[in-house]
Chains A and B, each alone.
Chain A
Amino acid sequence: MTRSPETSHVMSASDMDRALTRIAHEIVESHRGVEGLLLLGIPRRGTILARRLGERLARIDPAFDPEQAIGSLDITLYRDDLRAHGARTPEPTKIPGAGIDGATVVLVDDVLYSGRTVRAALDALQALGRPAVVRLAVLVDRGHRELPIRSDHVGKNLPTSRDERVSVLLDEVDRVPRSEEAVVIQRGRASQAGER
């Protein structure tokens, strides 16, 4: 990943770590435990963040079983803006054995922007069953919502302008060393397809 001079860092690797730990505590607090909790990450970065959140939840409460309580929810086929963003191969949707019926589903994504991804995720959930509660956890909320959607758990609220581009750089996707993971803003560019 080459970084142009207009790139500025808004979160470091340790900022991200702390934010995830805080979100994990918030989730346990608001749900009053881990029973019936299901984390669904939105590919690709949301899936990775969901796994990291799950590790923290297991540390907070050993009753949390990442095998049974973490999955992924691809929303490619539910988007209403594919025409603008172009087709992509859907990532797998993996729902752990018990399914979503009656669960407290926490959707996990990297950046919350227009809200269209989340809307698509809600549609996708509907096709899979009927959760008791759906919550939303994001690492960054950059504003500019186009739909009446809000996040329940936020790592960082980040005021941005529309011509900026926010990227979450992760080891598993972006091939940066874990210690150099970061959230960065690039200026003067239209938002990219991966940003939602």
Chain B
Amino acid sequence: MRHLLSTADLSHAQALSILDTAEEMAAVSTREVKKLPTLRGRTVVNLFFEDSTRTRISFEAAAKRLSADVMNFSAKGSSVSKGESLKDTVQTLEAIGADAIVMRHWASGAAAQLAASDWTDCAVINAGDGTHEHPTQALLDALTLRRGWSAAQGQDPRGTDLTGMRVLIVGDILHSRVARSNIWLLRTLGADVGLVAPATLLPVGVEKWPVNVYYSLDEALGSGPEAGPDAIMMLRVQAERMGGAYFPTAAEYTRRWGLTDERLARLEAHRGAAGQRPMILHPGPMNRGVEISAAAADSPMNQVLDQVSHGVSVRMAVLHLLLSSSERNTA
């Protein structure tokens, strides 16, 4: 593995390798000395063309725990906004001696273009590109789901996948990089994936995807305690989709697709095959009262804080695996 651009590129073995490595990284994070010497002398650049403090801090923490040098390059409000091209920016970073570029970009495909170009030899990690993918978010979600799924079955998570797990992804699938990355990864790991959204927020051609599609959240939640999902992932609704563009009003969205108190109660009644309660995930930040009620946001079933700490572990795993195998450094 040279770059991490899309979860669609990950084989089952590669996905498990990242998750298993992340488990070890998580174990290190509980030690007194949280720092590892693994990437000493390596330079990781966080190149952010779009603000995302959460993702940047998570990558920064991951790189620092591995003893890498970290440079943050916020391309918003820098020379880039004055017309400097991606190419020039990246070549500058290359000249500075970066080994890996963690890139967040507003344009779908920017990370893939960078990896395919001859502008740099750096390992490229896609930290979210437009409405395309956000692979490390999906990996941290998968780590969270696997923890819960293996715990319910009394197993060590290492080496296991999500076979048989039923996961619903609810919300703006069309514009969601988190959803795309999750769908491919969850399928690779053997989960059953259901998408729930108004038809306006589903891509054309979704019927060919290896998922079940529901227009109704109530239908997707099923009836009876055995019918429900093992996990439900609520996507954030962007303000610009409201007001009649994709659905009539926020209130109507909440009524039909929100994780309301009533639906939370139904979820609480669900029991999985091993008697476990469903998990609630959200990539954050949550719109309380829109896609998720305050009670659901604060529910013990909600994994949002675990997701944050898993984010650091997964990003440590990815940096370790990419940077210690990066081909140009083997010479």
- Given contacts A83-B330, A84-B330, whether A93 and B24 have CB atoms under 8 Å apart is yes
Give the contacts of B24-43 with A (CB-CB under 8 A): 24-25, 27-28, 31-33, 35-38, 40
Bound-state CA distance A102–B33 (Å) is 17
Bound-state CA distance A174–B321 (Å) is 25
Residue A90 lies at the interface, judged by CB distance under 8 Å to chain B: yes
Bound-state CA distance A84–B331 (Å) is 8
Q: Is the CB of A82 within 8 A of B38?
A: yes
Give the contacts of B271-320 with A (CB-CB under 8 A): 320
Q: Is the CB of B158 within 8 A of A128?
A: no
Picked from A78, A92, A126, the residue with its CB within 8 Å of the CB of B158 is: A92
**Min CB gap A109→B, angstroms:** 19
Q: Is the CB of A80 within 8 A of B37?
A: yes
Residue B200 lies at the interface, judged by CB distance under 8 Å to chain A: no
Interface size in chain A (residues, C-beta < 8 A): 21
Contacts of A62 in B (CB 8 A): none
Q: Is the CB of A77 within 8 A of B38?
A: yes
Give the contacts of B102-134 with A (CB-CB under 8 A): none
Picked from A77, A79, A89, the residue with its CB within 8 Å of the CB of B28 is: A77
Give the contacts of A109-126 with B (CB-CB under 8 A): 123, 126
Picked from A74, A87, A92, the residue with its CB within 8 Å of the CB of B325 is: A87
Q: Is the CB of B24 within 8 A of A92?
A: yes
Query: Which interface class (under 10, 10 to 19, 20 to 34, 35 or more) fits B?
Result: 20 to 34
Q: Is the CB of A127 within 8 A of B325?
A: no
Contacts of A92 in B (CB 8 A): 23-24, 27, 158
User: What total count of A-B pairs have CB within 8 Å?
Assistant: 59
Picked from B17, B24, B37, the residue with its CB within 8 Å of the CB of A74 is: B24
Q: Closest chain A residue to B33 by CB distance?
A: A127
Contacts of B321 in A (CB 8 A): 87, 89
Contacts of A78 in B (CB 8 A): 36-38
Residue B329 lies at the interface, judged by CB distance under 8 Å to chain A: yes
Q: Is the CB of A83 within 8 A of B329?
A: yes
Residue B324 lies at the interface, judged by CB distance under 8 Å to chain A: yes
Q: Is the CB of B320 within 8 A of A77?
A: yes
**Min CB gap B319→A, angstroms:** 10
- The interface centre, meaning the residue of B31, B35, B322 with most chain A CB atoms within 10 A of its CB, is B31
- Given contacts A86-B324, A89-B17, A90-B21, whether A127 and B32 have CB atoms under 8 Å apart is yes
Bound-state CA distance A83–B40 (Å) is 11
Q: Is the CB of B21 within 8 A of A126?
A: no
Residue A129 lies at the interface, judged by CB distance under 8 Å to chain B: yes
Q: Is the CB of B24 within 8 A of A77?
A: yes
Picked from A79, A86, A87, A89, the residue with its CB within 8 Å of the CB of B20 is: A89
Q: Is the CB of A123 within 8 A of B325?
A: no
Picked from B24, B35, B40, B329, the residue with its CB within 8 Å of the CB of A90 is: B24
Please list the residues of chain B having a beta carbon within 8 angstroms of any beta carbon in chain A.
17, 20-21, 23-25, 27-28, 31-33, 35-38, 40, 66, 158, 320-326, 329-330
13 contacts between A and B (CB under 8 A): A77-B24, A77-B25, A77-B38, A77-B66, A80-B37, A80-B40, A87-B322, A87-B323, A87-B325, A89-B21, A91-B24, A127-B31, A127-B32
Q: Which 10 A-B pairs have the closest CB atoms?
A: A82-B324, A87-B324, A127-B33, A87-B325, A90-B24, A89-B17, A83-B329, A77-B36, A87-B321, A77-B38
